[in-house]
Amino acid sequence: MTDGKQKAGRAGMSRPHGQKSTAVVVAADAGGTFTDLLLLRGESLTALKVPSTPDDPSRAVLDGLRKLLGERTGGEELLLIHGTTVATNAVLERKGARVGLITNRGFEDVIEIGRQDRPQLYALVGSRLPPLVSRDDRHGISGRLDPDGREVEALEPDELARLGGELGAVESIAICLLHSYASDRHEEAVAAALTGRGDGDAAIGSGSRTVSVSSRILPEFREYERCSTTVVNAFVAPRMARYLTRLREGADAAEIRVMGSAGGALPLSRAVSEPVRTVLSGPAGGVAGALEHGRRVGRTRLLSFDMGGTSTDVSLVPDRLLTTREGSVGDQPVAIPLMDIHTVGAGGGSIARVDAGGALRVGPESAGAEPGPIGYGRGGTEVTVTDANLWLGRLRPDGFLGGTARLDRDAVREPLEALARELGTDPDAAAEGVIEVADATMERALRVISVERGVDPDDFHLFSFGGAGGLHAAELAGRLGAKGVLIPPDPGLASAWGMLAAPIVRDRTRTLLRSSDDAEAVADVALAIQEIERVGRAELEAEGLDPDSLSVTARIDARYRGQSWELEVPADGWVEAFHAQHEARYGYRREGAVVEAVTARVRVSAPGLSPPSTPSPDPEGTAEARADVRWRGRTLDTPIHWRGTLPTDAISGPALVLEYSSTLWVPPGWRVLRLEGELLELSPEP
């Protein structure tokens, strides 16, 4: 049994992810306002941000690849690592496939009944979104297994033969039968009948119906969560397959990997067959990168703070990445491992408005990539957080994207004056109000993942990234009482950098339901973990990865007998580990009580790359400059620095630090210091 102890080496720069020595690697993070790309060629990193194309995100990625790579030399192969929001947006916008659900007769409405939660607790007549599968597209069939996987009722061959025709015009099929976590033979038989082949998968770009099988995607008990996860997978699978087909054909890459929601890279084939594993694709890369950067400077207790154009993602990183299986996307439960990320609608593009009661509101509506903030000059008309920072002097019109683009401050004046009139104040105060409201929203999010979990921020650094994070980090760290702020090189591309550093993973699970009062339970749990590990290793080795480079982490979902929910603990000594974890979480332990091992979770991983931590070069001709920055009702004469020319000694605020993908605001009472690994540390003056 293992728990992350088997680790041998790191993938060398000359053989990234098992590629040939001539490979170049590009990480592409398709975000809301910009699509971020990082090119790793040898020991050199090149950064590029291009406007996102919401109608087809692949256009921005392919455009960025052409600009980055130009004419590729003969024999130079490309590895593309991609973070995508396609699956997420499909669920949020409800623009996925028409899904047919195959389940046991009498259980067709599990997907609608759910847990009978009330979304609006005090509403006399509550409402919730309808399920992703209409009632007419749910089909119950004969056949039944018991909880141990034994057959109670056989499948009807004639019924299976008719099933394909009865599904009508559905594009995608979800198969979820009772107790398939104990035995998959009924589900596999149904999949084979529908596809005419044993694997049940539709090939990428084949045009045939995609088939999602619950025992492959989530072989765990709890029917509703397993069914919901499988339906979400089926809902997004055709759209994801079409998207990745366009990307594969346009990129001319030797290999494409997609960032998974749990912090590891997935091969293209798995991203196509199990796209539900990509619903937090982009944000997961940022959190993985935050931990890797922190390790390089010996600071691994972090509050990850990613402020982009449309939202802010925060995550607790207490020396390791935390995942959850209680996540949801668009009110749809998704029980696969997800990075434990909390998201709020406060980003650079969040729109400010005055509500019916006269109060200033910021977000969650966003100007997005099109038209974007007013200052971008693309037709935006509503004041955003970015516009407020531009008006206050914290964003420099001539310093945007390393001076390659210019912001229009004058265009902000009239809309901001109109907002100020509604508030009964002047434009400067209105702009500061927009920043204050956005900061309050982000502070609440950071407290959700720290204080509300019993974690004191005083022992953590705020790890700030995203294009807008540096403009707000000091204020938020001060409110939280954090140790300070860490800012990576090119923070606006930190999620793409994290994709380069992220491991290649296989996450496998198996429901056990074994009790500690059973003399054979410990041995049976150990045997199950070994079997799952063997499967995960075989899959990664089949991709050409070095067996000696693989590491294994095994954990157990455990509970006291009679409890409804579990705690995740290390597999080694899982009984005592559960007692200790229960006491830490709830303040007591029940010595002598029976502990159940509910689910085994095994991650087999290969190390990612070790990209350099170097910021983009400063633009030519940069010289010392100064700016008037509005802060707390005062105008401050503020020096402007480019990141590459920062001295080794600490610089005290007020100051602005500019670089290609972001701007750092150092307010009075704070100082910024360059650390090893090119990170910056922002801390209160002693």
**Mean pLDDT in residue range 157-175:** 91
Residues of the chain above pLDDT 90, percent: 60
pLDDT score of 528? 93
Share of the chain above pLDDT 70, in %: 94
Does one domain contain both 125 and 210?
A: yes
* pLDDT confidence of residue 123: 79
* Range ranked top by mean pLDDT from 192-201, 231-240, 260-269: 231-240
Cβ pair 33, 310 in contact under 8 A: yes
The residue out of 278, 302, 334 marking a domain boundary is 278
> Based on the domain organization, do 145 and 209 belong to the same domain?
yes
pLDDT bucket at 368, cuts 50 / 70 / 90: confident
Instruction: Please indicate, yes or no, whether residues 211 and 125 belong to a single structural domain of this protein.
Output: yes
Which token pair is 669?
């009472």
Domain end residue (candidates: 585, 606, 627): 606
pLDDT score for 72: 60
Please give the pLDDT value at position 622: 63
pLDDT at 315: 95
pLDDT at 624 over 80: no
Distance (Å, rounded) from C-alpha 259 to C-alpha 338? 12
The verdict on pTM exceeding 0.75 is yes
Residue 197 confidence (pLDDT): 59
Q: Indicate whether 406 belongs to any domain.
A: no
CATH number at residue 32: 3.30.420.40
Among the residue ranges 44-58, 147-161, 203-217, 618-632, the one predicted with the least confidence is: 203-217
What is the Cα–Cα distance from 254 to 77, expressed in whole angstroms? 6
Q: Are residues 165 and 43 in the same domain?
A: no
Whether 228 is in a domain gets the answer yes
Check whether residue 116 and residue 223 sit in a common domain.
Answer: yes
Tokens of 80: 């593309």
pLDDT band at 74 (very low <50, low <70, confident <90, very high): low
Q: Is residue 155 part of a domain?
A: yes
Provide the CATH number for the domain around residue 524: 3.30.1490
Tell me whether residue 118 is in a domain: yes
* Together in a domain, 117 and 211: yes
Q: Is residue 28 part of a domain?
A: yes
What is the Cα–Cα distance from 486 to 334, expressed in whole angstroms? 32
pLDDT > 70? residue 7: no
Tell me, yes or no, whether 183 and 197 share the same domain. yes
Same domain as 630, residue 682? yes
Report the b/e string of 435-454 with b at 16+ CB within 10 A: bebbbebbbebbbebbeeee
Q: Are residues 35 and 140 in the same domain?
A: no
Which of 555, 601, 595, 553 minimizes the C-alpha distance to 576? 595
Q: Are residues 108 and 212 in the same domain?
A: yes
For the chain, give the longest Cα–Cα distance.
Answer: 81
pLDDT at position 621:
60
- The last residue of a domain, from among 586, 606, 626: 606
Q: Is residue 538 located within the same domain as residue 656?
A: no
Contacts of 395 (CB under 8 A, 6+ apart): 375, 386, 389, 407, 471, 663
The full 3-state SS of 338-407, as one line of letters, equals EECCEEECCCCCEEEEECCCCCEEEEEEECCCCCCCHHHCCCCCCCEHHHHHHHCCCCCCCCHHHHCCCC
How many domains does the structure of the chain reveal? Answer: 4
With respect to residue 586, please indicate whether it lies within any of the assigned structural domains.
yes
Section 275-291 average pLDDT: 90
Q: Report the C-alpha gap between 201 and 203 in whole angstroms.
A: 6
Residue 580 confidence (pLDDT) above 60: yes
**Average pLDDT of the chain to the nearest whole number:** 88
3-state secondary structure 417-476: HHHHHHHCCCHHHHHHHHHHHHHHHHHHHHHHCCHHHCCCHHHCEEEEECCCHHHCHHHH
Residue 23 resides in a domain: yes
Q: How confident is the model over 81-102, as a mean pLDDT?
A: 89
Which range (15-24, 454-463, 551-560, 587-596) has the least confidence?
15-24
Within 13 Å, how many C-alpha atoms sit on residue 349's CB side? 22
Span 641-648, mean pLDDT?
87
Please report how the helices 427-448 and 410-423 are oriented relative to each other, as an axis angle in degrees rounded to 10: 80
Q: What is the residue range of 34's domain?
A: 16-90+244-278
Place of tokens 């509506």: 365
Q: CA-CA distance, 533 to 535, in Å (whole number)? A: 5
**Residue 157 placed within a domain:** yes
- Whether the pLDDT of residue 22 is over 50: the answer is no
Whether residue 8 is predicted with pLDDT greater than 50 in this model: the reply is: no
Q: Between the ranges 54-63, 407-416, 449-458, where is the mean pLDDT highest? A: 407-416
The most confident of the ranges 284-288, 611-615, 616-620 is 284-288
What are the φ/ψ torsions at residue 84 (nearest 5 degrees)?
Answer: -135, 150
Residues 228 and 267 occupy one common structural domain: no
